[in-house]
């Protein structure tokens, strides 16, 4: 089985893994490494890659693996390309919250045509207001928030009517 | 006079935990108050008793004066410590507490009121002999008056809200004009006063490293302040505290220009977030002194007893993405390990498994280091930040370490525009390929994507990934 592992902000790596007891052979972008992750109770785990050993802390949350190593925390995503193909790609159809906050104003309603860059909602976070704008031309399908609603980062705010592949992006 | 047998802590998070620690050391029982979101939080666990508060919002719950006073009366708490933020600088709270026969661990309401308004406090500071920045004489009526005041003062000037702080206004329309200081340092003096006429200062803290007008790194002493300047700043701070009849712990905030002239900014009539660096360097427990003073005791120290030993640095660990505009981050803290070691102090307000939500201030912990010299304190603080393990929520620990690593910080060349000025040097450097490989391999080994049941027996495993 192959997965894509991406370090936050970086390029995806193609990774395969075959375990043999406590150790494993991990193939990253076509190169094989002897590797092991020995968990140590209250101590950090010990990562071994070929002959190099490094203390690491890990925490798994679904497709996200958090790693503390080299003096800081890192966020990595582990994606099964087959599952991604089934789930459908994230597109410009839905505008999501860039940070947690509160809805201050909603500028559009269902069925309304909008142009790329047009204001959809105004949100407030850290006492700062910012505008969420349409990523493309389209027609509003659904508004997920009302004025006063609070939301977490990544929450859907406004959805546009999905475009079919052969349909030009025009309102 | 005797200390109270039980004290209610009207706060949450790390500062509630920190106050409860001193209460325990003094043999005083503690009562926490909490909103339902904090029911499993560290303050509730640390306290001997806990009373739930309700409010329209989670923050609003901690602002319910009636509920908090009733909780103190109901549990038999003899005093209330407000911590900082929330109701700590609200004179109405102090009055309500006192009216209920409960001791207020803080300054008299009159001093809080006088210092709560920037125009009044600036006038009182000037009368007490604290240098103030030239500017308009009180609030300006309109734009024309502001321009006239600016021309009299000499540009550049700042237009400030009379009631505000941390870059935020508080619904009061009055503004005033003040000379703008280029590359200012934020330096503040810690004062302690009892009800028997003793007022003293515990030296200064420098808090110039700020983002979004909020402090993120503080140190004691300031690398800029020599004995003479310390004595001058301390004397004026003590004079102001005396002039307003101050009691308890307070902080006189000042800005210093590049020549070493200093000017009054405001007085914070409460315990300050960054008080640990002063405690590390003076060896004085400021919270314990507040409790003793509120109980009517005399300060047991005199100005001559206050000596600054070594150097301390505090970093505020925030749940935020420092590489993307310091946006606040949320999530569940799946793994939490704080550093320990010589000179290391961590005041934390989170527990492993706890949720960091957008309902409250995003500060997770204060990681502090004390050393014999400033460079030793910096080295220890950097190591402590590298050993601060917080997985599940993005934090600013790596960013803070990059600030401490700059040669300019090392030389003490700090000012309030430091983070903006050095923005290019503070950008995250590309991850070395070897580190990225190690991280990718770690993620592969830790991820449930490669189910452990698929373990392949030897010798087939050594052949490599023949299954796909």
Beta-carbon count within 10 A of B95 CB:
15
Label residue A148 by pLDDT band (50, 70, 90): confident
A37 and A63, same domain (yes or no): yes
Which of A15, A58, A126 lies nearest to residue B328, judging by beta carbons?
Answer: A126
* B277 assigned to some structural domain: yes
* A108 assigned to some structural domain: yes
* Tokens read off for B455: 């373990």
* A56 assigned to some structural domain: yes
A47 and A12, same domain (yes or no): yes
Q: Distance, in angstroms, between B436 CA and closest chain A CA?
A: 7
Dist CA A15 CA A51 (whole Å): 20
Number of domains in chain B: 4
Pairing of strands A113-114, B175-179: unpaired
Residues in chain B with CB shorter than 8 Å from the CB of A59 are 334-335, 391-392
A8 and A24, same domain (yes or no): yes
* B440 assigned to some structural domain: yes
B164 and B86, same domain (yes or no): no
Residue A48's domain comprises 2-86
Q: Which residues pair with B185 in a beta bridge?
A: B256
* A166 assigned to some structural domain: no
B367 and B230, same domain (yes or no): yes
A53 and A77, same domain (yes or no): yes
DSSP characters over B159-175: EEESSEETTEE-S---E
Residues in chain A with CB shorter than 8 Å from the CB of B446 are 37, 58, 60, 65, 67
Least confident piece of the model among A101-115, B255-269, B404-418: A101-115
A116 and A153, same domain (yes or no): yes
B347 and B230, same domain (yes or no): yes
Query: Which residues of B are known catalytic residues?
Result: 266
Instruction: Flag whether pLDDT at A143 surpasses 50.
Output: yes
A11 and A35, same domain (yes or no): yes
Beta-carbon count within 10 A of A69 CB:
20
Q: Any idea what the CATH number is for the domain that residue B321 is in?
A: 3.30.470.20
- The ipTM (two decimal places) reads 0.89
Boundary-marking domain end, from B89, B105, B121? B105
B320 and B351, same domain (yes or no): yes
Which among A2, A41, A68 is the top mutation candidate for probing chain B, defined by the most B β-carbons within 10 Å of its own β-carbon? A68
Instruction: Flag whether pLDDT at B465 surpasses 70.
Output: no
A99 and A56, same domain (yes or no): no
B72 and B153, same domain (yes or no): no
* B394 assigned to some structural domain: yes
A19 and A65, same domain (yes or no): yes
* B245 assigned to some structural domain: yes
pTM (predicted TM-score):
0.85
CB within 8 Å: B461 and A20: yes
Q: What is the pLDDT of residue A84?
A: 58
B201 and B170, same domain (yes or no): no
B443, containing H or E segment: helix B433-446
B211 and B342, same domain (yes or no): yes
Q: Give SS3 for B44.
A: helix
DSSP characters over B217-235: EEEES-TT--HHHHHHHHH
Boundary-marking domain end, from A62, A86, A110? A86
Boundary-marking domain end, from A46, A64, A86? A86
What does the pLDDT look like over A5-38, one tens digit per residue? 999 988 999 999 998 888 999 999 999 999 999 9
CA B308 remoteness from chain centre: 20
* Tokens read off for B342: 């010589």
B224 and B348, same domain (yes or no): yes
CA B60 remoteness from chain centre: 20
A30 and A73, same domain (yes or no): yes
Helices (H), B26-77: 42-46, 58-61, 65-75
Q: Least CA distance to A12: which residue of chain B?
A: B440
Q: Distance, in angstroms, between B204 CA and closest chain A CA?
A: 29
* B119 assigned to some structural domain: no
A30 touches chain B (CB under 8 A): no
B153 and B81, same domain (yes or no): no
Q: Any idea what the CATH number is for the domain that residue B93 is in?
A: 3.40.50.20
Please provide the average confidence, as pLDDT, over all residues in chain B: 93
Boundary-marking domain end, from A86, A118, A147? A86
Half-sphere exposure of B272 (CA within 13 A, CB side): 30
A152 and A110, same domain (yes or no): yes
* B280 assigned to some structural domain: yes
Residue B380's domain comprises 185-421
Dist CA A144 CA B133 (whole Å): 50
What does the pLDDT look like over B128-152, one tens digit per residue? 999 999 898 889 989 999 999 999 9
Dist CA A60 CA A39 (whole Å): 14
What is the Rg, in whole angstroms, of the alpha carbon atoms belonging to chain A?
A: 22
Q: Least CA distance to B432: which residue of chain A?
A: A70
Q: Pick from A148, A142, A157: which is nearest to A103 by CA?
A: A148
B189 and B175, same domain (yes or no): no
Least confident piece of the model among B133-137, B172-176, B289-293, B450-454: B450-454
Q: Which residues pair with B316 in a beta bridge?
A: B366
* A153 assigned to some structural domain: yes
Which of B168, B442, B465 lies nearest to residue A18, judging by beta carbons?
Answer: B465
Residues 103-142 of A with CB under 8 A from B: 125-127
Supply the DSSP symbol for B365.
E
* B10 assigned to some structural domain: yes
* A116 assigned to some structural domain: yes
Number of domains in chain A: 2
* A165 assigned to some structural domain: no
What are the Cα distances from residue A166, in Å, to A113, A160, A163, A169, A170? 19, 17, 8, 9, 12
Dist CA B295 CA B106 (whole Å): 11
* A44 assigned to some structural domain: yes
Torsion angle, CA of B58/B62/B67/B70, rounded to 10 degrees?
Answer: 140
Q: Any idea what the CATH number is for the domain that residue A99 is in?
A: 2.40.50.100
A44 and A102, same domain (yes or no): no
Q: Which residue has the tokens 């997920």?
A: A144
Instruction: Flag whether pLDDT at B191 surpasses 70.
Output: yes
B202 and B297, same domain (yes or no): yes
Q: What is the pLDDT of residue B103?
A: 98
* A81 assigned to some structural domain: yes
Q: What is the pLDDT of residue B94?
A: 98
A60 and A15, same domain (yes or no): yes
Instruction: Flag whether pLDDT at A125 surpasses 90.
Output: no
Beta-carbon count within 10 A of A51 CB:
6
Q: Give SS3 for B403.
A: helix
Q: Any idea what the CATH number is for the domain that residue A34 is in?
A: 3.30.700.30
Q: What is the pLDDT of residue B75?
A: 98
Boundary-marking domain end, from B149, B179, B209? B179
Supply the DSSP symbol for B429.
P
Dist CA B460 CA A24 (whole Å): 12
Q: Pick from B43, B15, B25: which is nearest to B270 by CA?
A: B15
Instruction: Flag whether pLDDT at B358 surpasses 80.
Output: yes
């Amino acid at each position: 089985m192959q997965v894509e592992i991406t370090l936050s902000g970086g390029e995806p790596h193609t990774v395969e893994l075959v375990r043999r007891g406590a150790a494993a052979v991990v193939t990253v972008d076509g190169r094989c490494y002897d590797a092991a992750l020995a968990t140590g109770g209250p101590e950090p785990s010990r990562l071994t890659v070929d002959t190099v050993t490094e203390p690491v802390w890990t925490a798994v949350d679904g497709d996200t693996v958090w790693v503390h190593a080299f003096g800081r925390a890192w966020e990595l995503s582990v994606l099964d390309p087959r599952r991604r193909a089934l789930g459908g790609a994230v597109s410009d159809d839905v505008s999501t919250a860039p940070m947690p906050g509160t809805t201050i104003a909603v500028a559009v309603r269902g069925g309304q045509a909008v142009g790329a860059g047009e204001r959809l909602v105004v949100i407030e976070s850290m006492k700062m207001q910012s505008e969420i704008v349409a990523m493309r031309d389209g027609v509003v399908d659904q508004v997920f928030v009302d004025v006063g609603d609070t939301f977490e980062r990544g929450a859907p705010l406004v959805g546009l009517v999905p475009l079919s592949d052969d349909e030009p992006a025009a309102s | 006079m005797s200390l109270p047998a039980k004290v209610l802590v009207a706060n949450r998070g790390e500062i509630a935990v920190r106050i409860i620690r001193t209460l325990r050391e003094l043999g005083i029982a503690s009562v926490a108050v909490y909103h339902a979101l904090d029911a499993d939080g560290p303050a509730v666990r640390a306290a001997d008793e806990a009373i739930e508060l309700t409010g329209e919002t989670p923050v609003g719950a901690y602002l319910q004066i009636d509920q908090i006073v009733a909780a103190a009366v109901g549990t038999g708490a003899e005093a209330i410590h407000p911590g900082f933020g929330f109701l700590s600088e609200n004179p109405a709270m102090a009055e309500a507490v006192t009216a209920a026969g409960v001791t207020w661990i803080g300054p008299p309401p009159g001093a809080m009121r006088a210092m709560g308004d920037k125009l009044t406090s600036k006038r009182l500071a000037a009368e007490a002999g604290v240098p103030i920045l030239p500017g308009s004489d009180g609030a300006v009526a309109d734009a024309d008056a502001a321009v006239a005041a600016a021309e009299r003062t000499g540009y550049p000037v700042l237009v400030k809200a009379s009631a505000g702080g941390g870059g935020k206004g508080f619904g009061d329309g009055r503004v005033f004009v003040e000379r703008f200081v280029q590359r200012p340092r934020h330096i503040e003096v810690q004062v302690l006063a009892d009800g028997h006429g003793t007022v003293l200062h515990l030296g200064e803290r420098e808090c110039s490293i700020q983002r979004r007008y909020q402090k993120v790194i503080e140190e004691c002493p300031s690398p800029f302040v020599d004995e003479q300047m310390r004595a001058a700043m301390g004397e004026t701070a003590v004079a102001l505290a005396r002039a307003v009849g101050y009691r308890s712990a307070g902080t006189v905030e000042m800005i210093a220009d590049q020549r070493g002239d200093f000017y009054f900014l405001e007085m914070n009539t409460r315990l300050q977030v960054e008080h640990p660096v002063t405690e590390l360097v003076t060896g004085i427990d400021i919270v314990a002194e507040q409790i003793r003073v509120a109980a009517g005791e005399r300060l047991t120290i005199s100005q001559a007893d206050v000596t600054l030993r070594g150097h301390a640095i505090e970093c505020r660990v925030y749940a935020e993405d420092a590489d993307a505009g310091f946006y606040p981050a949320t999530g569940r803290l799946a793994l939490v390990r704080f550093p320990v070691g010589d000179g290391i102090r961590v005041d934390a307000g989170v527990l492993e498994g706890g949720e960091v939500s957008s309902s409250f201030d995003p500060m997770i912990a204060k990681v502090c280091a004390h050393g014999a010299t400033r460079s030793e304190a910096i080295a220890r603080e950097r190591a402590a930040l590298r050993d601060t393990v917080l997985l599940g929520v993005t934090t600013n620990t790596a960013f803070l370490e990059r600030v401490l690593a700059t040669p300019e910080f090392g030389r003490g060349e700090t000012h309030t525009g430091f983070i903006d000025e050095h923005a290019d040097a503070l950008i995250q450097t590309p991850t070395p390929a070897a580190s990225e490989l190690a991280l990718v391999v770690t993620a592969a080994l830790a991820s449930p994507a490669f189910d452990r049941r698929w373990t392949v027996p030897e010798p087939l495993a050594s052949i490599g990934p023949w299954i796909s």
